[in-house]
Structure 1
């Protein structure tokens, strides 16, 4: 599975980088995350309850950061196991670019799934992944840009390559799409994103 996406986050690049490296911010942002613990400076362990179609499982995973170039980019490598539900493993490249007082986050994910997850179909996995990524970024933006949320300003989190994507209204929001149920289960395999 290959996914890519781009989000505009209404916060300065340094603030976004710090939040992406804060286990508590990530724990609050990752859908279904039960725990996210820093094991070493660049290694995390996570547990998340993930539902993909009829398959619901608790995934336990590890995430390692590499190619760190603060506050611009890094690579996330992870794997997660969900018992009989299967496994997920993959890699995500995350890049941050400053755009005035906002930050553009882009990512590319390559992931593999096995077990029951692989049997339910790529389309359902992709849809779930995008929904989980949207949920992650909605939660992340609420945490990172509380000032924007307080003013009720509109934040466009839509992927930049989707002309029909709907902007979200902070505080209420529908977000459009991005990432991987696998990555959320993998990076919690988010997660996406996800550090998503």
Structure 2
């Protein structure tokens, strides 16, 4: 499936470009992600995902296929496999940075393929979950870029490496979809009971 996201960070394009290439610095902004090694081109690490009561760990690599500093465009190919299961995740992520008056606009195109339990969410819900995660990432990145960098305390590190809870993250989109029809059904039920009492 293809997903498209956009966000803006309040810094010049060159600063945003360098920050996004600083994997160790931005990794804490990605829920559930941890970096084990980075040699300047290939990232080795893991992502922990929680689906209901089950926590899944994907281990894999991500490789920069393209880094065009003049065009501020990068292409990252990532793949991972469950450490205790058959599920897999593959993604090709293309990021493009464009300078704006108020900072830098970042456009992210993701070609995603997921097998296993997270695939049960379906395209629509995964897209909405992606929107929320990208929004959270953008806020975290903007904060890192506009504040002096400080060592993270032990408690903060533990929170950053907590698994990404897909069920909780998906709760709001689900409520938004189910809420209006449910409210309408309740209104019909109340009106029907009120009419019965009147009779």
TM-score by length of structure 2 reads: 0.66
Whole-angstrom CA distance in 2 between matches of 1:126 and 1:63: 21
**2:133 matched to 1:136?**
no
2:35–2:43 CA contact under 8 A, matched in 1: no
Tell whether the 8 Å contact from 1:48 to 1:59 is kept in structure 2 after alignment: yes
Structure 1 position 11 matched with structure 2 position 16:
no
**Cα distance, 1:78 vs structure 2:** 0.5
Distance (whole Å) between structure 1 residues aligned to residue 45 and residue 34 of structure 2: 8
Q: Higher helix proportion, which one?
A: 2
1:18 Cα deviation from its structure 2 partner: 0.9
Partner of 1:117: 118
Q: Is the 8 A contact 1:73 1:95 kept in 2?
A: yes
Partner Cα separation in structure 2 for residue 77 and residue 98 of structure 1: 25
Aligned to 2:66: 67
Query: Structure 1 residue 36: deviation in Å?
Result: 4.4
Alignment of structure 1 residues 33-48 onto 2, 5 Å: 33-38=33-38, 40-48=39-47
Runs (5+) with no aligned partner, structure 2 = 149-165, 167-199
1:34 positional shift? 2.9
Matched residue of 1:121: which SS? helix
Cα deviation digits, residues 99-130 of structure 1 (max 9, x gap): 13511111111110112222343333333322
Give the whole-Å Cα distance in 2 for the aligned partners of 1:53 and 1:108: 28
Q: Which has the larger radius of gyration?
A: 2
- The whole-number CA distance in structure 1 between the counterparts of 2:10 and 2:52 is 32
The answer to whether residue 80 in structure 2 is matched with residue 80 in structure 1 is yes
User: CA RMSD, aligned part only?
Assistant: 2.2
Q: Residue 20 of structure 2 corresponds to which residue in structure 1?
A: 20
Larger relative contact order, structure 1 or 2 (CA cutoff 8 Å, min sep 6): 1
Does the C-alpha gap of structure 1 residues 9 and 118 become closer, same or farther in structure 2, counting only changes over 3 Å?
Answer: same
